[in-house]
Structure 1
Amino acid sequence: MTLPFEVKLAAGADLVEKTLRDLLEPRPLEGELHRPERLLKAMRHGVLNGGKRLRPFLVLETAALFDATDNMAALRVAAALECVHCYSLVHDDLPAMDDDDLRRGQPTVHRAFDEAAAILAGDSLLTYAFDIVSAPETTLPAEAKLILVNRLARASGIGGMAGGQALDLAAEGVQLREDEILRLQAMKTGALIRFACEAGAVIGGASRAETERLGEFGAAIGLAFQLADDLLDLTASSEALGKATGKDAAAGKATLAGLHGIDWTRQQLRGLVAQANEILDPFGERAETLRQAAQFVAEREK
């Protein structure tokens, strides 16, 4: 019996949630002197608040594609990636960035605590991610850990997510060209999704060619994710999404959905799903869940 994709995604989210809860326990790790209670609560508020956990799910599924034997190592890398993603959300929500009051239907960290706590929570989540990947408890070969740390740093830093956010802030009120929008979105949103797919391949001991192919898959669904997000910003209610909508247009930010319209965007999403499926062809039936993930990303309603 084949489980529906949403059931698989929820099961993966439960595993990642448990791993994150264990990692964010009050007890200090070896080498830590103390975990300040309020800071830890702010971190947990920013991470343990639901969410689809799509990025860590992609880590787990791409690792499974190569029969990765150590599921706990894959779970720890998946949790580390989610820490980076959640750090970015905590900082993006700040008044100096997107100035949002809601995230996943709950008060954002700076609203539930204060701005200083949100900044420190984000800083701590980002650095903790690299601790998790490199720690002895992540039982991967040293070379694999080094590759993962390097790729995660590049996906999340100046040439990836943080750089994309800088471009996004600079784009307010500016009419960007289509290629500029694509570059911004590939950095801000696509880089971590691409890393998720590459990370699973590294964990599973895939060849360089296989890792690159899965990176291409991640790039395709990363663009689909952003297009679907832009579409939802135009068409969905804030109640359905659990966050404010219509903010891109209000801030004068150019998106491909805003530039070309709803029908064009939906057509592009169908094309990206077809592209993602074609990329996965060499993996045959083993990649069926990843094909379902591509479809889910393009068709999601929140």
Structure 2
Amino acid sequence: MIIMGTKLNEFIKEWTPRINQVLESKIEQDTDQQKLFESMSYSVNAGGKRLRPLLTIATLITFNQAITDSILKATCALELLHSYSLIHDDLPAMDNDGLRRGKPTNHTIYGAGMATLAGDGLQALAFQWVVDNDLTADTRCQLALALAKAAGPRGMASGQADDIEFEGTRLKLHELQKLDRNKTGALISYAVNAGLIMAQVPKDQKKDLLAFANNFGAAFQIYDDILDIVGDEKAIGKPVHQDADKNTYPNLMGLDGAYEALQRTVDQARHALNTAGHELNIDTSLLLDFCSYFVIKDERHNGKTTR
């Protein structure tokens, strides 16, 4: 069960349709192969919470930055790159999953070859959207560099490689944290950093906001690990009980330990935001509301919730 604050609910209702409109209308104009377009669009528009672009927009709003068409396009680029990662993650050579967001995965509809190309196309298009807009040259360069680092061999690709290499082994906690920080956390951290870049926040004022992003990304993966055990396939839109041989928090420290790690990590995210609000004199309540994503039913305590 997820209980979100009123401010966040209103924010999601306002901005999710605007994000979806960009994603539904602009991919085709940059694609000249019909089947490739269909495959790309299928995964991007199959649903999803749009959490990452929403985090970017929330960061911009926190710094009173107007959301122009160029900013929105650059923001939506991250959802293209995220969708590429999901397509490739589901492939037979990776996790070989048949269900994503409650629908058949891309390769089960279009075949592994076309799905691979759809992922390739979305990755390239993400960088195109980051630079093909009216933002300043310096802003576009910063975004492209930050996104490349988040997605590349010291970011998401590194985490995915660790996930494959060490499946069936048991990593130590610091090794699991590195895996998760790259595989999942890197793009979530980029989402907040992209907002800071486009709002032109000085580097010396970013520390606490980036600490929030890093902890939020860590909490997101711990939560995903927990859902593989206690979640419902229909509710979360993908198979559960798939992580028996993987490096996850429940497998490393048990379900109770995973819940405790989630609580601790969310608390750290909140603390970082409270510090940023105090030191920068900004209203961080919207970003704080994102932490309500992790309000989940705790079967250990007779249906009580944990934050």
C-alpha distance after superposition, 1:12-58 (max 9, x if no partner): 22111111112113x35xxxxx6100000000001001110000100
Question: What secondary structure sits across from 1:261 in the alignment?
Answer: helix
SS of 2:243 mapped into structure 1: helix
Q: What's 1:229 paired with? A: 224
Q: State yes or no: 1:24 paired with 2:27.
A: yes
CA distance in 2, matches of 1:75, 1:133: 10
Provide TM-score, normalisation by structure 2: 0.90
Larger mean Cα displacement after TM superposition, 205-214 or 81-90: 205-214
Partner residue, 1:290: 287
Amino acid at match of 2:271: E
Shift of 1:4: 4.6
Counterpart of 1:148 (choices 118, 143, 147) is 143
Match of 1:169 among 153, 164, 167: 164
CA distance in 1, matches of 2:131, 2:7: 34
Q: Give yes or no for contact 1:104–1:243 (8 Å, CA) kept in 2.
A: yes
Q: Specify the alignment match of 1:11 in structure 2.
A: 14
SS in 2 for 1:113: helix
Contact between 2:84 and 2:122, CA under 8 Å: does it hold in 1?
yes
Bigger mean CA deviation after superposition, 148-157 or 15-24: 15-24
Contact 1:185 1:223 in 2 (8 A): yes
* 8 Å contact from structure 2 (residues 74, 131) kept in 1: no
Give the match for residue 95 of structure 2.
98
1:259 corresponds to:
252
SS of the equivalent of 2:168 reads coil
One of 19, 35, 59 as aligned partner of 1:62: 59
Corresponding residue SS for 1:114: helix
1:273–1:294 contact (8 Å) kept in structure 2:
yes
Amino acid corresponding to residue 153 of structure 2 in structure 1: I
| 1:240 aligns with one of 235, 240, 245 | 235
Runs of 5+ unmatched residues, structure 2: 298-307
What amino acid sits opposite 2:226 in the alignment? Answer: L
Query: How far off is 1:269 after superposition?
Result: 1.8
Instruction: Give 1:43-122 correspondences, 5 Å limit.
Output: 43-122=40-119
SS in 2 for 1:243: coil
Summarize the alignment of residues 173-188 of structure 1 with structure 2, pairs less than 5 Å apart.
173-188=168-183
Cα drift, residue 71 of structure 1: 2.9
Q: Work out the CA distance in 2 between the residues paired with 1:142 and 1:23.
A: 22
Give distance in 2, aligned partners of 1:265 and 1:43: 35
What number of residue pairs does the alignment pair up?
A: 289
Which ranges in structure 1 are unaligned for 5 or more consecutive residues?
29-33
Q: Greater CA deviation, 116-125 or 70-79?
A: 70-79
For residues 119-174 of structure 1, the C-alpha deviation after alignment (integer angstroms, 9 at most, x for no partner) is 00000000001100101xx2221111101100000000111011110110111111
Contact 1:74 1:200 in 2 (8 A): no
- Separation in structure 2 between the aligned mates of residue 243 and residue 80 of structure 1, nearest angstrom: 24
Q: What is the CA distance between 1:78 and its match in structure 2?
A: 1.9
Quote the Cα distance in structure 2 between the aligned partners of 1:291 and 1:127: 32
**CA shift at 1:300, angstroms?**
5.4
Tell me if the contact between 1:9 and 1:52 (Cα under 8 Å) persists in the aligned partners: no
Of residues 106, 129, 138, the one that matches 1:132 is 129
* Conserved? CA contact 1:91–1:119, under 8 Å: yes
CA offsets 1:77-106 (integer angstroms, 9 cap, x no match): 221000010000000000000100010000
Which among 200, 217, 228 is matched to residue 205 of structure 1? 200
Code of the aligned partner of 2:134: T
Once superposed, what is the RMSD of the aligned Cα atoms?
1.6
Which letter maps to 2:6? L
Separation in 2 of the partners of 1:83 and 1:300?
Answer: 28
Q: Which amino acid aligns with 1:227?
A: I
Q: Deviations over 1:167-221 (max 9, x none)?
A: 1011111111111110000000000000000110111110102233222111000
Tell me the CA shift for residue 65 of structure 1: 1.4
Distance 1:92 1:161 in 2: 11
Cα drift, residue 7 of structure 1: 3.9
Contact 2:102 2:237 in 1 (8 A): yes
Q: Which runs of 4+ in 1 moved over 3 A?
A: none
Is the 1:103–1:243 Cα contact (8 Å) retained in structure 2? yes
AA aligned opposite 1:56: P
